[in-house]
Structure 1
């Protein structure tokens, strides 16, 4: 499994830093939805799903969290802790997020609007479908 971390260009000086996110430029798809997670307790795991079609880029804009990514054949665990780096999550990739720092703000950019029918929420179903 190949995981793609997108290096986002950081601009800044003594006043601070800025990262611009632009669809079809540094974000490899049209952006239709943006959401963010914050205030997640340290021992909580989130995610536990895959998307049939949806693609996402996750950015830890503050703090850090860990991702467990699973394509049905291989699992990769990684730390997301750089506000100038985005994790591209392709469609049909099981994801779990955990080990959130107390100050973590995790922003997610998606290529489509929320659609419950796009979710695979059962790991057993995910494994079944991914082995076809």
Structure 2
């Protein structure tokens, strides 16, 4: 009976050792997985920090580009206004040019008439 009891206890001990070894293996496996997950988490946090920094950088760049766009829009509006002013000046100068050309043609005809009159008078005096 004592031998049976010892055999049972030894069998239970052997089974307990197997269970303990299996538990140790699972513990080690879980430990390795935990280390890998912690490393993954650390890399993910680093990527998140890098992404956050990139977001801040891009937001600043977007703000600068937005300000540049506003400045260019204002410059374009001013240029358009200057262009309209120049076009009005060109129209006015075109009208002045036509008027001056008309006066010049009239003056040339008057000069020709007067020259003919002078020539005629000179002919009368000499003739």
Common topology (TM > 0.5): no
TM-score w.r.t. the length of structure 1 is 0.14
TM-score w.r.t. the length of structure 2 is 0.14
More relative contact order, 1 or 2 (CA 8 Å, 6+ apart) = 1
Which structure shows the higher helix fraction? 2
